[in-house]
């Protein structure tokens, strides 16, 4: 097959049976996990919590459920950083590698559990010296460097909740998040390497704090790229100076099981992102459990690699907390899969080599790789000769997350990365769920490409129709979770009503995930994507409303509507339709300027792929924008029923304009 072509497999019914080798490891003595959890899910999770974690004080009540508010492992105390670090060192595993880190330019660091613990203790002391205390919040805006997990674990050690802000976000996003959480501190770096050059971070923090965030007292800066950023005297402090002055020992304080561990902001259906709250005991239990079982972990020998960014929940749970709680060795990589570097194979195709990931898998002997369907589709496009040039035989399990995976991408991953030897685990979950919810267990589950299979042991999910009744085999509807789970969100920061309204009001007594799903004759779940106004671009959640607000923020734009169009690589891409104010004349430059404006407001991930200037927007007679029609236009589909429109002529005109304009990228 030549580079660039995509192999299409027959879409006949395919199943992949579990391999005995995996069953033996993952479920040794535990093959009754599903039945045990079915019989008494609280007892099941209580057993896992005690088996997987070190508790300072045992809990007396497994679950207090006052719908929709849950408390897990009530009365228990523990420390997340102790569970991720100290207990492994105390057990004689201090010299084990915790993180094989690789920077984008090719610099590397090997960090043992002992070294990581030492850094975390010093940094925790630095935080204490700056006056941070249990219950405070600290914002973290960093590249993928080892100081990022150090900062998170140091916060956890002393009970400060972190709020990690993805490094691709703009100053506005930093201001909003600092203000909403009333953060006392921002931890950042001068810049991080991105596609061969330093991408500035500290200047964004400066702009953000010039605009707001009055509670922020200090900014701690790691010197990653030597870009010599401006430092505000009294407020800004260098990481290295603080570490040098800091005392080495900082005991891990026992925290209540329900102590806030972190906030992670995610897009909802309004312009204001939600601060999703995760707490201590339940979160760590489920993340540790799922990391161990879903990836068939053999902690002594495995080299686990989650190729996500810690700015998203996937990185929180499966780069930092899960792998470290399980005491395994992980890989952490700073850059992108196609970073510029010299071609080391005789190759005359020019351009950047596209085998960075496969080179890393080979050099570190990676055993599990966890990535997103978007990335897999990109690798398909680049061609299978890139992975074929590397020895990937150490891989045992492949995982995907973030969006529905199309069966062709699943098969390609299975064949060209997994050598047809590795089970593929398609894991469905959300920022809100904290950890995996629906996923195969390697060795136990028959997989079908494109299906996340069944809820994990201890998780109870159902697909319901519009009236809230469970659909039978072959039915489709909305995905709901029917019982509380340990790593569930505990709420939306500062907004309990929105929490109840968003997740618990659509179907009585059920958590509404916002995803559509189908159930097949075997009871397998097939996820169909979001059913609300949330787009999923390369596995990143972006709300249509957020982008619409950024569009109308441009002085030439009067009104805007945004939809997610189908995209072969990124799953969805953002398409905006705008009406201009008064007498402003449409032009190609203006279209580009408006598009760029969103990139500045929200960061490059949210920049629309295309912006169309239109005379009007299709609205129902009650004034609601008909997004379905705009999606149809964006996808080039037939327009279907337009009879509810106030002015049916509008759509035809929009379609003609959209067809006339070229795609932007």
Tell me how many helices (H) and strands (E) the chain has: 22, 29
Q: What b/e readout covers 391-427, taking b as 16+ CB neighbours within 10 angstroms?
A: ebeebbbbbbbbbbbbbbbbbbbbebbbeeebbbbbb
Structure tokens at 238: 């260098």
- Using CA of residue 48, residue 53, residue 54, residue 55, what is the dihedral sign? negative
According to the 3-state scheme, what is the secondary structure of 161-197? EEEECCCCCCHHHHHHHHHHHCCCEEEEECEEEECCE
The residue ranges that bind ligand WTA (CB under 6 A) are 266, 312-314, 401-404, 426-431, 452, 513-515, 527, 529-530, 536, 541
Nearest to 330 by CA among 338, 339, 322: 322
CA-to-CA dists, residue 356 to 159, 196, 389, angstroms: 37, 13, 11
Pairing state of beta strands 540-543 and 534-537? antiparallel
Q: Which two tokens stand for residue 114?
A: 């002992």
**Cβ 360 to ligand WTA, closest distance in Å?**
22
Q: Which CB sits closer to ligand WTA, 125 or 570?
A: 570
Q: Which residues lie across from 398 on neighbouring strands?
A: 369, 424
Q: Which CB atom, from 180 or from 190, has the smaller least distance to ligand WTA?
A: 180
- Report, in Å, the least distance between residue 551 CB and ligand WTA: 23
Minimum CB–partner distance for residue 194 and ligand WTA (Å): 20
Please, which residue, 175 or 266, has the CB nearer to ligand WTA?
Answer: 266
Q: How far is the CB of 470 from ligand WTA (least distance, A)?
A: 19
| Of 224 and 518, CB closest to ligand WTA | 518
Give the single-character DSSP code of 209. H
Describe the strand order of the beta sheet including 161-164 as a list of residue ranges.
236-238, 218-222, 185-189, 137-141, 161-164, 260-266, 274-279
Residue 73 vs 321, nearer CB to ligand WTA: 321
Closest to ligand WTA by CB, 401 or 444: 401
Q: Looking at beta carbons only, is 328 or 409 nearer to ligand WTA?
A: 409
Q: Which is nearer to ligand WTA, 41 or 312 (CB)?
A: 312
Residue 251 CB, nearest approach to ligand WTA (Å): 33
CB of 79 or CB of 290, closer to ligand WTA = 290
In the complex, the smallest distance separating the C-beta of residue 481 from ligand WTA, rounded to whole angstroms, is 12
Q: Are 599 and 551 in contact (CB under 8 A)?
A: no
Rounded Cα distance between 287 and 427, Å, is: 13
Residues 6+ apart with CB under 8 A from 241: none
Shortest separation between residue 423's beta carbon and ligand WTA, angstroms? 15
CB of 528 to ligand WTA, least distance (A): 8
- Rounded Cα–Cα distance for residues 194 and 386 (Å): 21
Query: Cβ 253 to ligand WTA, closest distance in Å?
Result: 30
CB of 397 to ligand WTA, least distance (A): 15
CA–CA separation, 59 and 50 (whole Å):
9
As a whole number of angstroms, the distance between CA 277 and CA 265 comes to: 9
Instruction: With H, G, I as helix, E, B as strand and everything else as coil, classify residue 448.
Output: coil
Shortest separation between residue 530's beta carbon and ligand WTA, angstroms: 5
Q: How far is the CB of 546 from ligand WTA (least distance, A)?
A: 14
Say if CB 536 and CB 530 are below 8 A apart.
yes
d(CA 616, CA 602): 25
Please say which residue, 377 or 591, places its beta carbon nearer to ligand WTA.
377
Residue 246 or residue 290: which is nearer to ligand WTA going by CB? 290
Give the residue carrying structure tokens 């805006």.
141
- 8 A C-beta contact, residue 558 and residue 581: yes
Q: CB of residue 600 vs ligand WTA: minimum separation in angstroms?
A: 23
Helices 171-181 and 588-602 meet at what angle, rounded to 10?
Answer: 30
| Tokens, residue 312 | 């998203």
Q: List strand residue ranges (DSSP E) for 453-608, in order.
A: 461-464, 476-481, 511-519, 525-530, 534-537, 540-543, 557-567, 571-580
Nearer of residues 165 and 255 to ligand WTA, judged by Cβ: 165
Least distance in angstroms from the C-beta of 529 to ligand WTA: 6
Smallest distance, Å, CB 538 to ligand WTA? Answer: 11
| Beta bridge mates, 430 | none
Nearest residue to 145 (alpha-carbon basis) of 238, 223, 245:
223
C-alpha triplet 170, 174, 179: angle, nearest 5°: 150
């Amino acid at each position: 097959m030549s580079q660039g072509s995509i192999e299409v497999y027959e879409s006949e019914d395919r199943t992949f049976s579990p391999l005995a080798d995996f069953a033996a490891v993952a479920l040794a003595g535990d093959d009754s996990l599903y039945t045990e959890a079915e019989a008494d899910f609280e007892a099941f999770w209580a057993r896992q919590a005690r088996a997987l974690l070190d508790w300072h004080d045992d809990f007396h009540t497994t679950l207090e459920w006052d719908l929709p508010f849950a408390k897990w492992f009530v009365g228990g105390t523990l420390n997340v950083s102790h569970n991720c670090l100290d207990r492994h060192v105390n057990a004689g595993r201090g010299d084990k590698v915790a993180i094989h880190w690789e920077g984008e330019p090719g610099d590397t660091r090997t960090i043992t559990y002992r070294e990581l613990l030492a850094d975390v203790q010093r940094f925790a002391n630095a935080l204490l010296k700056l006056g941070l205390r249990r219950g405070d919040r600290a914002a973290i805006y960093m590249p993928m460097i080892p100081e990022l997990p150090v900062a998170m674990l140091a916060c956890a050690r002393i009970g400060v909740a972190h709020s990690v802000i993805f490094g691709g976000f703009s100053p506005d996003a930093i201001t909003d998040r600092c203000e909403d959480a009333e953060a006392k501190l921002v931890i950042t770096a001068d810049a991080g390497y991105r596609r061969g050059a330093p991408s500035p971070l500290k200047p964004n923090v400066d702009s953000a704090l010039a605009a707001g965030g009055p509670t922020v007292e200090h900014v701690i800066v790691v010197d990653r790229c030597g870009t010599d950023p401006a430092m505000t005297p009294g407020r800004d402090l260098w990481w290295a100076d603080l570490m040098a002055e800091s005392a080495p020992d900082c005991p891990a304080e026992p925290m209540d099981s329900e102590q806030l561990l972190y906030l992670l902001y995610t897009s909802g259906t309004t312009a204001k992102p939600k601060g999703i709250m995760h707490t201590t005991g339940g979160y760590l239990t489920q993340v540790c459990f799922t990391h161990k079982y879903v990836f068939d972990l053999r902690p002594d020998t495995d080299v686990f690699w989650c190729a996500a960014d810690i700015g998203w929940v996937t990185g929180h749970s499966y780069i930092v907390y899960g792998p470290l709680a399980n005491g395994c060795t992980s890989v952490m990589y700073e850059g992108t899969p196609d970073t510029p570097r010299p071609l080391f194979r005789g190759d005359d195709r020019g351009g950047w080599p596209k085998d960075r990931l496969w080179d890393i898998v080979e050099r570190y002997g990676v055993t599990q790789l966890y990535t997103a369907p978007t990335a897999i589709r990109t690798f398909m496009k680049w061609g299978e000769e890139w992975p074929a040039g590397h020895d990937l035989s150490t891989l045992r399990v492949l995982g995907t997350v973030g969006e529905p995976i199309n069966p062709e991408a699943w098969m390609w991953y299975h064949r060209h990365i997994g050598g047809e030897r590795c089970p593929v685990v398609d894991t469905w979950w959300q920022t809100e769920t904290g950890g995996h919810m629906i996923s195969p267990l390697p060795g136990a589950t028959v997989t079908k490409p494109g299906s996340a299979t069944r809820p994990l042991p201890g998780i109870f999910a159902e697909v319901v129709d519009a009236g809230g009744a469970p659909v039978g085999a072959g039915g489709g509807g909305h995905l709901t979770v029917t019982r509380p789970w340990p790593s569930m969100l505990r709420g939306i920061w500062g907004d309990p009503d929105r929490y109840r309204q968003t997740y618990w009001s659509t179907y009585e007594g059920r958590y509404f995930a916002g995803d559509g799903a189908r159930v097949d004759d075997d009871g397998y779940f097939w996820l169909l994507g979001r059913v609300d106004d949330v787009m999923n671009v390369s596995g990143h959640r972006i709300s249509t409303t957020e982008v619409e607000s950024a569009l109308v923020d441009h002085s030439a734009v009067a009104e805007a509507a945004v939809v997610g169009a189908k995209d072969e690589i990124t799953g969805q891409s953002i398409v905006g339709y705008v009406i201009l104010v008064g007498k402003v004349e449409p032009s190609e430059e203006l279209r580009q300027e408006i598009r760029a404006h969103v990139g500045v407001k929200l960061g490059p991930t949210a920049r629309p792929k295309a912006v169309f200037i239109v005379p009007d927007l299709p609205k129902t007679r009650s004034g609601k924008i008909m997004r379905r029609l705009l999606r149809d236009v964006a996808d080039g589909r037939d327009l279907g029923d337009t009879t509810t429109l106030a002015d049916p002529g509008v759509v035809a005109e929009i379609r003609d304009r959209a067809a006339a304009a070229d795609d932007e990228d």
